[in-house]
Amino acid sequence: MKMIESMKDKKVLVLGLAKSGVAAAKLLHKLGAFVTVNDAKPFEENQDAQLLLQHGITVICGDHPKDLLDDGFELVVKNPGIPYTNPIIEDALMRKLPVWTEVELAYRISEAPMIGITGSNGKTTTTSLLFEVLKEGNLHPLIAGNIGTVACGVTAEATKDEVVVTELSSFQLMGTEQFKPKIAIWTNLFEAHIDYHGTMEDYAKAKFNVTRNQDESDYLIYNADQEIVVNEVVASKATKIPFSSTRILKDGISADDEMIYWMGEPYLERSVIALPGKHNLENVLCVVATAILMACPKEALTHVLQTFAGVEHRTQFVGMYNGRKFYNDSKATNTLATKSALSAFHTPIILLAGGLDRGHSFEALRPYMNNVKAVVVSGETKERFAEFANSCGVSVIETAEIMEDAVPKAYALSEEGDIILLSPSCASWDQYPSFENRGERFVEAVEKLKVN
């Protein structure tokens, strides 16, 4: 890693721990900063804080003192999940202190080029697929960011011969300053996380940070089928590579029913793609464009496209039982993600939906509910989703308290040839600690169904 001098002897506050806070604190300490971490969890229950204290890092736990910043801090590195309405963050901004997420640190120390992938939907699939393609092509990728390992932990070990494929949320991008990926991918932009950003405009502005510092030597792959994205990227100075799944582009990557086209010329037959659905075609276009830009061997790209069947919790094929196919799309925490999942199938669907009630409308699902023959609802939104499904003409609606009840009920409502799809359209936190946990319990319930 680059042992940057800008952190030496700088007084830095790391706000919020978990994986990103721990990694940032350790890195800053190694770079010679005077680090203080502040976390709301009491010290005696906080293993992360106890570990950092052993490393010689100052730890303040149990609350967030209002006068914390009076101690002369020059930089705040915050956990991405902490909103900018947090009193300490508001105080830092009022004092004109820089507020970063660890992604900014990751970029500053990285010897390896970085690929930044963002968007409202499709980030995880695109990141995972691209990683597998580059790995197959012997281009030495590392995977980081919102998908798994903390970015600054990955770049601390990365060499100039590797490439860091990084999934980036708007929360992470909002806390960047100099971040400049060699290739940026912007999959799409839909209304999401307004409770965090406040407005759609501020949400879009945070996403734009993936390309804000790029120049003509860098590349931006973006969704040419979304006017809102097209309008946002006008300000980017990167070399732009548009993608489209609706028309053939002469200046980018695109597809029709038969082929994928690069710069308007046939490049690859669509029949090699294993992933179902239009939304996944868009993800594939981003990956193919990146592979071409990085001179990845075409045979490596083709092999992975033929064998890659998806990522956990994102329209993940779980298995077949008595002629029913089960899919885990627990990562569909908003309506538009569920829309993508529903549009991927053309056979009858038993839909498992519901979760944390953020008050958002399900109306965008209406045109895609035609194949839904029954719904099993749960969580805080169960009554609202049931009313919506009924208004769409779905006459069979059942309620389940937990996943272990929902899966058997869905199976009982199904027939041979049906799809049983968990695609909640809501966050998980009303009942489960994460969408991953929700998805894992769905998979376990499916496996138990097979045993019984």
Domains defined along the chain, listed by start: 11-100 (3.40.50.720), 109-307 (3.40.1190.10), 316-451 (3.90.190.20)
> In this predicted structure, what is the pLDDT of residue 245?
96
Sequence ranges of the binding site for ATP = 119-125
Q: What is the mean pLDDT of residues 385-412?
A: 97
Give the pLDDT band of residue 452 (cuts 50, 70, 90): low
Looking at residue 243, its pLDDT comes to 98
> Out of 4-18, 47-61, 272-286, 291-305, which region has the weakest mean confidence (pLDDT)?
272-286
What does pTM read for this prediction? 0.79
pLDDT band at 313 (very low <50, low <70, confident <90, very high): confident
Report d(CA 122, CA 340) in Å as an integer. 10
**Model confidence at 18, in pLDDT bands (50, 70, 90)?**
confident
Binding residues: 119-125
Q: Which residue has the higher pLDDT, 169 or 346?
A: 169
Calculate the alpha carbon distances from 114 to 5, 161, 393 in Å.
21, 11, 48
| Banded pLDDT at 306 (limits 50, 70, 90) | very high
Strands 141-145 vs 75-78: parallel, antiparallel or unpaired: unpaired
Predicted local distance difference test score (pLDDT) of residue 318:
87
What integer pLDDT is reported at residue 382 of this predicted model? 97
pLDDT value at position 317?
83
pLDDT of residue 21: 94
**pLDDT over 70 at 29, yes or no:** yes
Radius of gyration from C-alpha coordinates of the chain: 23
pLDDT at 316 over 90: no
> Is residue 148's pLDDT more than 70?
no
Q: What angle do CA 382, 386, 390 make, to 5 degrees?
A: 175
Residue 208 pLDDT greater than 80, yes or no = yes
Which strands form 396-399's sheet, in the order they lie side by side? 316-321, 324-328, 419-422, 349-353, 372-377, 396-399
pLDDT exceeds cutoff 80 at 362 = yes
pLDDT at 142 over 70: yes
